[in-house]
Amino acid sequence: MSNVSALQDDAKSRPKTAAGRLSRLWSKNRSETNAAGYIFISPWLIGFLLLTVWPIAQSFYLSFTEYSLLNDPVWVGPQNYANIFLNDQLFRTSLGVTFAFVLVAVPLKLFFSLMVAMLLNKNLKAMHLYRTAIYFPSLIGGSIAVSVLWRNMFSLDGYVNHVLGWFGIQGVGWISNPNTSLGTLILLSTWQFGSTMVIFLAGLKQIPSELYDSSSVDGAGKTRQFFHITLPMLSPVMFFNLVLGVIGAFQMFTSAFIITKGGPVNSTYMYALFLFEKAFKHYQMGYASALAWILLLIIAVLTGINFLVSRYWVFYESEGGKAK
């Protein structure tokens, strides 16, 4: 009796159809990969839960308070958000400045990084020297020296005006003029394209050379190869640089902070600088936190759009064609 029922139980548990068997196999793997998945992302997950969640939650809470940092936070509800949207001219100004920066700096950087990366991908002698030389500006980062350097380059009697003089063009005080100062910061960001370029380079190195070889055999020229091999194979990396370029550009702070301090006439008053000054200079951390969360929302929406649109142009080799 028990044997039969045991056999019957066995029969029940063993699915009859192929689909059934497959799905059972799948579900067994499912729980295994569930565990494996979590094990693999556990370093990040643990760090997130231990070290990151609380500060982030705190900052969200603080956005509903008035917090001078020197006193304890005082709950004020959505007042900060209301003031930001209804009363704050500076909010709109800095948002405008930041959008302008993103719209120009990101494409510029992507373009130059890609072009130079392709140049550096060739097999020429002394390539490592060139690469290091070209990457150098990105190493200077946010040091004080950069502000000295940049101000000297763009001052009325600086290097840039000197060079312009060769072409007979009269230069202006680029940094101290509200019409051009944002341009100097955009230039600085573009000059430091090294990191983006290095990532493109790594991506280029991962494209199998046989693709190029076999297409040359088929008679394809350089341009055709660029558009039909390089760009598609590079698209995941391009996507990465685009998404992160946008995220980074919106949070650009250092150059505005050390070179122009947001001036003149707020022409370089980047959003992150505005936020920082609200918190540390005007002792309004609550307001600044609200500003931060609004920025997060804006960036998240734009990134989401980026992801949605990516399915039309990003090609993942491993997923055999169009990405999800």
Binders in 133-172 for other proteins, by CB under 8 A:
133-145, 148-149, 151-153, 155-157, 159, 162, 172
CB of 9 to other proteins, least distance (A): 29
Site for other proteins in 262-321 (CB under 8 A): 263-266, 272, 275-277, 279-283, 285, 288-289, 292-293, 295-296, 299-300, 303, 316-320
Residue with tokens 């809470």, as numbered in its chain: 61
In terms of CB distance, is 15 or 60 closer to other proteins? 60
Q: What is the 3-state secondary structure (H, E, C) of 108-130?
A: HHHHHHHHHHHHHCCCCCCHHHH
Angle subtended by helix axes 231-250 and 89-120, to nearest 10: 150
Centre a 10 Å sphere on the Cβ of residue 233 and count the other Cβ atoms it contains. Answer: 19
In terms of CB distance, is 1 or 308 closer to other proteins? 308
Tell me if 116 contacts other proteins by CB under 8 A: yes
Say if CB 117 and CB 201 are below 8 A apart. yes
In terms of CB distance, is 15 or 173 closer to other proteins? 173
Q: Binding segment for other proteins among 7-15, 61-69, 102-110, 217-225 (CB under 8 A)?
A: 61-69
Q: Binding segment for other proteins among 4-12, 14-22, 118-126, 216-224 (CB under 8 A)?
A: 118-126
Rounded to 5 degrees, what are φ and ψ at 283? 55, 40
Closest alpha carbon to 268 in 253, 246, 287, 247? 253
Residue 65, SS3? Answer: strand
Closest alpha carbon to 174 in 270, 103, 268, 95? 268
CB of 255 to other proteins, least distance (A): 13
Centre a 10 Å sphere on the Cβ of residue 9 and count the other Cβ atoms it contains. Answer: 10
CB of 16 to other proteins, least distance (A): 26
CB of 76 to other proteins, least distance (A): 13
Q: Binding segment for other proteins among 4-12, 14-22, 214-222, 259-267 (CB under 8 A)?
A: 259-267
CB of 266 to other proteins, least distance (A): 5
Site for other proteins in 188-247 (CB under 8 A): 191, 195, 198-199, 201-206, 208-210, 233, 236-237, 239-240, 243-244, 247
DSSP tag of 318: G
Per-residue DSSP letters for 248-310?
A: HHHT--HHIIIIITT-STTTT--HHHHHHHHHHTS--HHHHHHHHHHHHHHHHHHHHHHHHHH
Closest alpha carbon to 191 in 298, 93, 112? 112
In terms of CB distance, is 4 or 124 closer to other proteins? 124
Q: How many residues belong to the site for other proteins (CB under 8 A)? A: 123
Q: Binding segment for other proteins among 7-15, 101-109, 221-229, 258-266 (CB under 8 A)?
A: 258-266
Site for other proteins in 74-113 (CB under 8 A): none
